């Protein structure tokens, strides 16, 4: 007798056949269906890890905004890498495109972007997050102290976080990019030109964007300095 599970799988198999435009008589192989379910299950785990880290960041922001009346975080964005980009990256690394290879070789399937008002907030958020005993730092790249050639600035962290499921605990990796509002404004526009050709027009834009990145960095530093002066002034007046 067919179980509820069997019926569901049969239904899903039929729907997928429509989706992939398969021959009416051709069955979707069990192996393919299995891989699809495994892939979906892995993506669910990454989504859960994003929720865990996002909650931690929101708690820090709430606590500090209550105690200091300032928010070290302006916004938190997140995304799961799309299947096409996952396959492309694995191929670039000469890895097989399998579900096992995803968790073994990719650090950025789950991505969180934290946008802060000031440069000091970036390092404060990093410290508060990393010192939590269930957050394990795997890699750190400081593109604020050492900007990329493009002018790109951000603090990149890869962390591993335990996620508790019904049967077991799993350590899941998340890439966190922390940057100022101004750095984010720049990166969003620069991203649009990153994969364009090398024509003279594009080269000019790249050069001018680099100049903008340097101007933005100076402005970020100046704003930080002015903020400190305002705070010191307030202390003297108190
Ligand atoms: P990827 O294979 O691209 O992930 O490189 P990687 O593993 O060496 O990581 P890297 O530290 O270079 O940063 C990867 C991510 O940072 C990218 O996917 C972008 O989101 C962002 N990033 C890095 N460099 C730039 C840049 O020059 N411009 C913009 N706009 N974003 C960048
Ligand atoms: Mg990436």
Q: Over the stretch 47-57, which tens digit does the pLDDT of each residue have? A: 999 999 999 99
In a domain, 209, yes or no: no
Ligand 1 nearest atom to the CA of residue 188, by list position: 30
Give the chain's mean pLDDT: 92
Average confidence (pLDDT) over 17-32? 74
Which tokens belong to 219?
Answer: 């402005």
- What's the rounded Cα separation, in Å, for the pair 80 and 99? 15
- What's the rounded Cα separation, in Å, for the pair 27 and 3? 19
Phi-psi region of 141 (alpha: psi -120 to 50; beta: other; left: phi over 0): beta
Which tokens belong to 64?
Answer: 């500090």
CB 172 within 8 A of CB 165: no
In a domain, 193, yes or no: no
Specify the pLDDT at position 43. 97
In a domain, 39, yes or no: yes
Which percentage of the chain shows pLDDT scores above 70? 96
Number of domains the chain is built from: 1
Å from CA of 234 to ligand 1 middle: 40
In a domain, 196, yes or no: no
Q: Over the stretch 194-230, which tens digit does the pLDDT of each residue have? A: 877 778 888 899 999 999 999 999 999 999 999 999 9
Residue 75 pLDDT grade (very low, low, confident, very high; cuts 50, 70, 90): very high
CB 206 within 8 A of CB 189: no
Ligand 1 nearest atom to the CA of residue 108, by list position: 4
Of the candidates 52, 216, 210, the residue with the CA atom closest to the CA atom of residue 119? 216
Note the pTM of the prediction, 2 decimals: 0.92
Q: Is 170 a catalytic residue?
A: no
Of the candidates 44, 42, 62, the residue with the CA atom closest to the CA atom of residue 54? 62
Q: Ligand 1: does its nearest atom lie under 6 Å from the Cβ of 190? A: yes
**What is the extent of the structural domain holding 143?**
4-182
Å from CA of 128 to ligand 1 middle: 24
Task: State which H helix or E strand residue 178 sits in.
Answer: strand 169-180
Q: Ligand 1: does its nearest atom lie under 6 Å from the Cβ of 141? A: yes
In a domain, 152, yes or no: yes
The CATH number that applies at residue 41 is 3.30.460.10
In a domain, 233, yes or no: no
For ligand 1, mutation pick of 88, 191, 192, 196 (most atoms within 8 Å of CB): 191
């Amino acid at each position: 007798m067919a179980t509820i599970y069997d019926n569901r799988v049969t239904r899903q198999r039929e729907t997928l056949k429509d989706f992939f435009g398969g021959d009416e008589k051709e069955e979707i192989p069990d192996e393919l269906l299995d891989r699809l379910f495994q892939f979906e299950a892995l993506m669910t785990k990454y989504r859960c890890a994003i929720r865990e880290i996002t909650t931690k960041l929101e708690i820090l922001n709430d606590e500090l905004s209550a105690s200091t009346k300032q928010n070290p975080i302006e916004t938190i964005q997140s995304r799961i890498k799309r299947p096409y980009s996952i396959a492309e990256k694995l191929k670039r690394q000469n890895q097989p495109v399998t579900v096992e290879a995803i968790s073994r070789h990719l650090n950025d399937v789950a991505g969180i972007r934290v946008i802060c008002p000031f440069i000091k907030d970036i390092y404060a958020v990093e410290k508060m997050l990393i010192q939590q005993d269930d957050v394990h730092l795997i890699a750190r790249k400081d593109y604020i102290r050492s900007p990329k050639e493009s002018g790109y600035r951000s603090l990149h962290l890869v962390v591993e976080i335990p996620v508790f499921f019904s049967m077991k605990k799993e350590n899941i990796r998340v890439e966190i990019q922390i940057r100022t509002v101004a750095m984010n404004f720049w990166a969003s526009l620069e991203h649009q030109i990153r994969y364009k050709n090398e024509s003279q027009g594009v080269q000019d834009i790249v050069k001018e964007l680099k100049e903008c990145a340097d101007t933005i960095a100076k402005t970020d530093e100046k704003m930080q300095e002015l903020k400190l002066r305002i705070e010191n002034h307030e202390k003297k007046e108190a």
